[in-house]
Structure 1
């Protein structure tokens, strides 16, 4: 009975993770409650994962990464890279991949990708090349770079913590570095040769009005002297009600963005976004005159009014808010004209669109307001790269603390969790990062997910579900050989990372894999390392957050990731299956 309950909960969790109808942390907590209520695990087992030292390490890595970002030291490094643009795109691509992979060996790959997106888009526009030639390789480099050290990805730390709870030694800081470097090196060579040829050149350098084809949806409307709209505020008038949106107003020689206090006057020309046939229906009744069939670009974008693209990043509080709830006009002085999401351009009913990670918003706003928003944590402006002010002293202090934590922890002079906690406290004390920003930098949902899924592993063992599945796998695949069984777990991990997070997928499979290794009387650590690494090499689809971040800016299609990433994923899986049994003998 308990086996059926655990496996049913596992299936439900995977479905909910995939559909994202409920937040992953809430799903995790529901599973924990169900497992505790059914007495499959004790309350102590349910919450043991949250008190583990690897949770502290993950949180500290997030804070130190944010401190490096805020002090401008990462922007300083990227600024140096941008200068390579004049020496050729091949050199730029090579160095960008190496640096992105190197940084992500010690930082969250999603953060690294977000930092690189804006400068690479700016460089591609300056060189008049497609940004799609740079962004996907950079994202892949940041993902695979995480396989080089223990702290390169939260998955590594989660697996290491589970091994400790299972009575095995933790994964050493540089224990996986040899395999990781080979995986990264193969990825680099692949993307510089085969992958580069398969990358699309879809993101052409052209005006934003053409890229989003918005001129077909914008019309100039003249307010006639006898119009009942005269005297009304712009945003309460029919021109701002669905299916229409009022953008900017031409009043004599002025061209400006309206706000909630702007009243319509006779002879105002209002740029309205909406279908022309809908506007014709209200033309006569409202005293309006359609001025032109085609709006010139200078009406939409002037010296003072600019168009820009905003990328919704992983830290943005706008995620899961509708455009209406975000209230761009009031909060930022911006009008949202269109949204690019996974290759599709959304134009209708934008106020009802729920914003997601990786969305690219085409906005219109005052040039000064846009300039003030550079460096905001709510989103990244995809424009010319303007590095943050490099706070040299604080940046070097943060970097020194980070390196000291790595050195002391890897040499086991003090526990890794203590070394990273000490580095984080020093960064706060030296005001390299504020306390408030430190708490904001931590991915609390991820910590809950990892802590909860660790407890799920205990439930798999307590209920006998892990042994049940392991016996079935052994009976079915043992004739094919141990390597075939290992390959089955690796491939299953790669596939499960599509609907689930990498860490969750690894923690779900790990109890079964360890039980299978014990049943086969082989080294369980071999299976654990293979699963841990395979969770970070699934590049087949753009479901990885790092890939989602480059999807919109690179104007990619879903098929682009399948075409480019499938071959690379197969290569990396083959390397894992060859190298892991050699370094960690079965």
Structure 2
């Protein structure tokens, strides 16, 4: 997905920006020297602590880009390093571990439970169904209403489950109205990201930024502190998607295609007849699977008109059996030539026969979420086929489709898996947070009672936070508990709803932000940026910080970028003598602007494979919007909050 070429290009882009910044910094120093006759000393001198923190940041960013292991595990290295080198980090052990019990971390985890309760009531799908009936076949009207729904709901519940619930609806809407689903999926993701900037609780980025802002300048975010700005930015994004963006979004998925066409299965699924002299006669499927030399899978057995599905391992092959197998043409020819099988030319499996499978057997697409235990593992390592009695037909990562050597395939977040499963398996997968059922849209799937209760609990949370009746973390935690107490989710779902990857990511990175501040690194870097003030006014420095933060968000994610950049942005504002809160807001909005990469934000990952996109599609569509907001957002913040 994020291959070596893309990684190198992003790194080179960051290096180019930083080198330009360095060159401008040197030029500014020269100008200051010529004007004043001497070079002004920066407010913070380089020392061992600053060098250590800067090296730690460089190592961390490099590891995040190359991702030798999940970034949540990499983040845990931060408190370890800070505690191990206490003298260099200027941190105590308690401060190094402060992220694990931080109020922002607790609030973010509680919001996952809120989102799960509302999503599992079917409320989001119900709203999506209403929209699909209004839009008709006008794609721009579809985008406008999808954006209105996604942007408004993402302001109050986590945008990841919102997108997960709406992807099937959007794809079904596209197929019904003859609009490529690809045209609708990028707007779904982008407006979910923009909707998260409308309120304090819209995204974990806002909650983290509020905590940092409170700690450094004593100004936490109120619930609707920047709602006006967020709504304007959302409207700008929607307008862009309806005009320029719509023309740039490619129609990667064919409107008329079915699942077998989308996954190019026609050349891989074939029905064969077992002859009397077939070497497999008398052997069980398990024995055949254990000894097979070629890459193929037995999907179904047909015997005397009766069809057998998973589990097949105990079935013994008999003469006259028909097998539906998954194999490429070269493998099929080898089986026919050497194993005693005969192809049934008139019975080659087509899309209709697979998409209308046996009673009790269902064709589904599964999305691998970022927190899934499947990430960085193979099917064999997680025992997927045996554990879930399923057949994997194909895999998709962006535009790339895999049919062969799938047992060696190492899953990444956002991957799509085409499966034949039983109804029992599907129920198990629905209840398992390691899977997202992509092509499963049931507009009647909602519980009215749970819907009302979950929305009432969300209203309780909003009211208590808006009127400062309770601290945000306590209001969120009590609301999450009420979700379980009311039966909106059960106690098992409470823990499965929490994204533990995010928990460890935040817990590891929050102390990093504190270390940047306490070690003097923020002041030192701010002093370097301050030299640019002779070349450009503060508003352009604010735009530069927005640009750097948003580029970092495309590479290492929104939460990591806001925690690393906020202390530097605040330090810059303080040394410039301007309103630091304006720079806080700039950095916060920039961290949620990872439009130019499918890996910078989880909602982009979710639509990346579902829409069949190429990596470059996000650069082509997202980069112009990112540049527009780089100019517009700082100007609006300057207008509303002043310097």
User: Which of the five TM-score ranges fits, normalised by the shorter chain?
Assistant: over 0.9
Pair 301,89 (structure 1): closer, same or farther in 2 beyond 3 Å: closer
Equivalent residue, structure 1, for 2:205: 155
Pair 250,394 (structure 1): closer, same or farther in 2 beyond 3 Å: closer
CA distance in 2, matches of 1:347, 1:327: 18
The CA deviation string for residues 465-517 of structure 1, in whole angstroms up to 9 with x for no partner, is 22222222212454222122211111110110022120110111111122222
Provide structure 1 residue ranges, at least 5 long, that are not aligned to the other structure.
Answer: none
Q: 1:143 aligns with which of 186, 193, 216?
A: 193
Deviates more, 1:29-38 or 1:144-153: 29-38
Pair 219,59 (structure 1): closer, same or farther in 2 beyond 3 Å: closer
Whether 2:7 is the aligned partner of 1:7: answer no
CA distance in 2, matches of 1:443, 1:306: 28
Secondary structure of the structure 2 residue equivalent to 1:499:
helix
Q: 1:35 aligns with which of 82, 107, 113?
A: 82
Equivalent residue, structure 2, for 1:265: 318
Secondary structure of the structure 2 residue equivalent to 1:55:
helix
Pair 240,86 (structure 1): closer, same or farther in 2 beyond 3 Å: farther
Post-superposition offset of 1:387: 3.8
Equivalent residue, structure 1, for 2:545: 489
CA distance in 1, matches of 2:514, 2:623: 33
CA distance in 1, matches of 2:450, 2:353: 45
Give the alignment of 1:185-584 within 5 angstroms. Answer: 185-204=235-254, 205-237=256-288, 241-257=293-309, 259-281=312-334, 283-292=336-345, 295-297=348-350, 300=354, 302-304=356-358, 307-314=363-370, 316-365=372-421, 377-383=433-439, 385-387=441-443, 389-543=445-599, 544-584=601-641
Equivalent residue, structure 1, for 2:100: 50
Partners of 2:124 and 2:162 within 8 A in 1? no
Partners of 1:230 and 1:265 within 8 A in 2? yes
Q: 2:71 aligns with which of 18, 24, 37?
A: 24
TM value normalised by structure 2: 0.85
Secondary structure of the structure 1 residue equivalent to 2:342:
strand
The CA deviation string for residues 209-238 of structure 1, in whole angstroms up to 9 with x for no partner, is 222222223444332212331111123216
CA distance in 2, matches of 1:240, 1:220: 18
CA distance in 1, matches of 2:453, 2:354: 46
CA distance in 1, matches of 2:156, 2:409: 35
CA distance in 1, matches of 2:81, 2:567: 19
CA distance in 1, matches of 2:161, 2:126: 16
Partners of 1:402 and 1:420 within 8 A in 2? no
Deviates more, 1:204-213 or 1:301-310: 301-310
The CA deviation string for residues 339-394 of structure 1, in whole angstroms up to 9 with x for no partner, is 11011011111012122222121223457865886676443444462146432223
Pair 380,423 (structure 1): closer, same or farther in 2 beyond 3 Å: closer
Cα RMSD of the aligned pairs, angstroms, is 2.4
Q: 1:63 aligns with which of 106, 113, 118?
A: 113
Whether 2:160 is the aligned partner of 1:110: answer yes
Deviates more, 1:385-394 or 1:276-285: 276-285
TM value normalised by structure 1: 0.93
Provide structure 2 residue ranges, at least 5 long, that are not aligned to the other structure.
Answer: 1-47
Pair 55,492 (structure 1): closer, same or farther in 2 beyond 3 Å: same
Secondary structure of the structure 1 residue equivalent to 2:419:
strand
CA distance in 2, matches of 1:10, 1:225: 67
